[in-house]
Structure 1
Amino acid sequence: VALQFSDDLLVDSVSIARKLEEATGAKMYILGDTSYGSCCVDEVAAEHVGAEILIHYGRACLSPSNRLPVMYVFGGKAVDVNLCVESFQNLFPDRQTPVVLFSDVVYEHILGELEARLARTYPRVVATKLSWVTDVPSGEVRRFGRSFSPDLTLWPDAYSLFYVGGEGPTLSNLLLTWPRCPFFSFNPETGEGRKEGLDVNRALMKRFYLIEKARDAQVVGILVGTLGVSDYLSALAHLKDVIRRAGKKSYMLSMGKLNPAKLGNFLEVDIFVLVACAENSLLDSSDFYRPIVTPEEMEVACNPAREWGGCCVTEFRELLPGILWPLGRGGGYLY
């Protein structure tokens, strides 16, 4: 059994491994240094020790994987549900507002209770459920390892979003994916509820600027940012084909965790495109020598038939053939 811990939980890894070995008799291996982001399941490292199952502890991006069975232990941080309900009521005075409830994975355990409490007075509230498998029931929308069932005649333009959690990559992804939806959050650590989105337009303009830089680039470096997310090989092949059709040259690079010094060795590359999980795709490239874009941004830059939709698509699997888009890009996808 392979045990994968995020950096902040490694201090507890030895005691947990010992207790599991005593309880099960199975051999435990601790994966101390992940190949890429700690939110991703490191199936490659697990295979090096011949693991038959992997247990992932801490925050996770919930990207689907296909090599090993995976179990998640998120941990459940405390939330004052009464204060959260009060904050929601202050932020949504109109009780007929359609709202989707999201949360960080460490607060997901309270969404069921929160939905039940709010449903008494807010009949159009829908809570997301964690879903890191591709077998999603018909009619459900799935994004970022979460599935939910909104009114498809109203989604997404008429909906507001409410997020339980603090600032981080999950919140940023949600804001940039649905920038036209009113967005509110409740931070359990501070007890503060607020309206989000003050810097969304600035962030989106920066992403559009990067698309223009990608259009002008002649040499593209394709960065392999994951070896575990399902269909990453198909995404790499798709990107190579798109770049070739645009008359650009590409190089494929795999170097683990990225930093400016590593990428600074490839001065002939005009721009990089990162194939990674959704939470690691929107990399701030201001400290790097060359810009770094997402696969969707590179496809918009290379394909004249594609127009930028004014939002970010960070799950590269959504660019592959076979995904149905009844709600339009950015609205969500169904299987």
Structure 2
Amino acid sequence: MENFDEQFSITKTVEFIQKNKSTRVILQLPPKLLQFSSKIEKHLKKALKNDKISFFILAGASTRHCCVDTVSSARVFGDLIVHYGHSCLSSTAQIPILNIFIPTKISIQNIISAFETEFSTQKTKQMILFYSTEVENSISGLYLQLNKTFPNLKRTLLNLPKNEKEKVKKFEQKQEQEQEQEQEQEQEQEQEKEQEQEKEQEKEKAKEEEKEQEKEKEKEKEKEKEKEKENLKIFGRVLPITDITQLSKNQLIWLGSSTNPTLFSLALTFGAENFLVLDPEKEYLEFEKMERMQPMRRILMKRYALIEKAKKSENIGIVVGTTNPKKDLQIVKYLQLLIKNSKKKSQVISMGVVKSLKLGNFVHDLDLFVVIGCNESLILDQSDYYRPVLVPDELDLALNHDREWDGTINLNFYPNHDMIANLEKKLKQSFDLILIEQQNQKQIENLIISRSETRSFKGLETRLGENKVTKIEEGLSGRASQYQDEIDLN
């Protein structure tokens, strides 16, 4: 019982539900954990002891299992989502989200020994530690011990949803306000006439306090913005660097399963040759080079072949497979401009989980698909797909003549406003050129018409009804070199 509660963080979930005052809780589990869904619900109900709270289990998500399914949650008016298992941490939902990462057993001492063996002569080397969500519960204690031996080792942080803390703060503020209002009402009922002046003073003080609280909130927001500017965020991680170019100066380390999709996304984006992998689930712990573990070069060559196909495609489908409208619209707008600027046609398709059978309905009209999804939406095995499926960065590499392929694919591709503005400018220039060409064409046509009108000879004319009617006369006979009636000059 205790092990089950710890594994699925029952106590943590109960506290989160109570603090957010939620009544319609969504439990989203991947297929591997669905067998525990009923048991989780029973444990939560037993701990909450509140019949007003309803639970809904998402057995089939409308998005990828690593993404928070806000669409299905909205269908049942859910006001809180508990997401279990591996997460890509790419959600920007407005309702509270609690991520429960199912922990894996790791040996801290064995991991430290593996570090000391691998970097025995490089203890001052610059290193950045990435880790899977499954080791989140143990990473703090592990990092403190590693940092004693390796002072230049920096760690990344999981970029968890901010609304977890924000919703809790709002709930506490509401409770305080309700208590203050109740006290004021009691005082008003008992001493309405005597304490009018005191009430006015209290109101003034309350206004001043509110102003001070607002100022403090603004200061906190400014601090958060400064922190966001200082630290880079990618693949649900907050990096301990301010410039992406600094990554090449560090040894990148991955602590987690070697088959984790986040690791694959990182390797494609930053280069597999830069990563050392330490899988804590293996019996014998040792560092392995990422480029030796997976055929990255073969995969990259296949992706390059798809990029070349995209250059020849005429009709391209933009498949929206996420639930982040703000981010989706920005990428869709950029891709539409990019395709239009390349004199090709595009079609936008909204789709939750991208499957070959769904895309098969559009194979007669489209030559290629580009999928807008989370960081882990790259489709490697395309044997079941009738048309090539790319990610936005690959299409940009194919159609953007200002870029050259450096052997990496950015799965965190997001166009900024300058990129969109440049494409709009190019389209406007090309449109102006078309107008100029049309004007020149009209001028040439006018010149041709005026010349034909001033010519004396305008070709053979039919002149039907204009010639006088005459009798039929006998024509010339003989050969063309000499007719019978012609005089022989010889």
TM-score (norm 1): 0.88
Name the residue aligned to 2:47. 23
Instruction: Quote the Cα distance in structure 1 between the aligned partners of 2:244 and 2:355.
Output: 44
Structure 1 residues 98, 230: CA separation in 2 closer, same or farther (over 3 Å shift)? farther
Q: Which moved more, 1:271-280 or 1:206-215?
A: 206-215
Q: Which runs of 5+ in 2 are unaligned?
A: 1-24, 163-223, 420-490
**1:241 Cα deviation from its structure 2 partner:** 2.1
Would you say 1:104 and 2:132 are equivalent positions?
Answer: yes
Q: C-alpha offsets along residues 8-41 of structure 1, whole Å, 9 cap, x if unaligned?
A: 1111111212332343321111111101211000
Instruction: Quote the Cα distance in structure 1 between the aligned partners of 2:270 and 2:416.
Output: 21
**1:321 Cα deviation from its structure 2 partner:** 2.9
- Which portions of structure 1, spanning 4 or more consecutive aligned residues, are displaced by more than 6 angstroms? none
Q: C-alpha offsets along residues 128-163 of structure 1, whole Å, 9 cap, x if unaligned?
A: 110135865331121111112137597111211111
Identical columns (%): 32
For 1:216-227, what aligned pairs fall within 5 Å after superposition?
Answer: 216-227=312-323
Name the residue aligned to 1:239. 335
Name the residue aligned to 1:33. 60
Higher strand proportion (structure 1 or 2): 1
SS of 1:19's equivalent in the other structure is helix
Give the greater-gyration-radius structure (CA).
2
Would you say 1:190 and 2:214 are equivalent positions?
Answer: no
For 1:1-335, what aligned pairs fall within 5 Å after superposition?
Answer: 1-24=25-48, 25=50, 26-93=53-120, 94-133=122-161, 137-150=228-241, 152=243, 155-166=246-257, 167-179=259-271, 182-191=274-283, 192-193=285-286, 194-198=288-292, 199-228=295-324, 231-267=327-363, 268-316=365-413, 318-321=414-417
Structure 1 residues 38, 153: CA separation in 2 closer, same or farther (over 3 Å shift)? closer
Check whether the contact 2:232–2:243 (CA below 8 A) recurs between aligned residues.
Answer: no
How many residue pairs are counted as aligned between the two chains?
A: 322
SS of 2:102's equivalent in the other structure is coil
Q: Which amino acid aligns with 2:398?
A: A
Check whether the contact 1:61–1:279 (CA below 8 A) recurs between aligned residues.
Answer: yes
Higher helix proportion (structure 1 or 2): 2
Check whether the contact 2:159–2:236 (CA below 8 A) recurs between aligned residues.
Answer: yes
Q: Which amino acid aligns with 1:57?
A: Y
Q: Which amino acid aligns with 1:60?
A: S
**1:50 Cα deviation from its structure 2 partner:** 0.5
Instruction: Quote the Cα distance in structure 1 between the aligned partners of 2:352 and 2:161.
Output: 25
Q: Which moved more, 1:101-110 or 1:13-22?
A: 13-22
Question: RCO greater where, 1 or 2, for CA within 8 Å and sep 6 or more?
Answer: 1
Name the residue aligned to 2:219. none
SS of 1:44's equivalent in the other structure is helix
Check whether the contact 1:223–1:252 (CA below 8 A) recurs between aligned residues.
Answer: yes
Structure 1 residues 250, 152: CA separation in 2 closer, same or farther (over 3 Å shift)? closer
SS of 1:72's equivalent in the other structure is strand
Check whether the contact 2:67–2:90 (CA below 8 A) recurs between aligned residues.
Answer: yes
Q: Which moved more, 1:178-187 or 1:37-46?
A: 178-187
Q: Which amino acid aligns with 2:255?
A: V
SS of 1:269's equivalent in the other structure is coil
Structure 1 residues 77, 288: CA separation in 2 closer, same or farther (over 3 Å shift)? same
Name the residue aligned to 2:204. none
TM-score (norm 2): 0.62
Q: Which runs of 5+ in 1 are unaligned?
A: 324-335
Structure 1 residues 165, 148: CA separation in 2 closer, same or farther (over 3 Å shift)? same
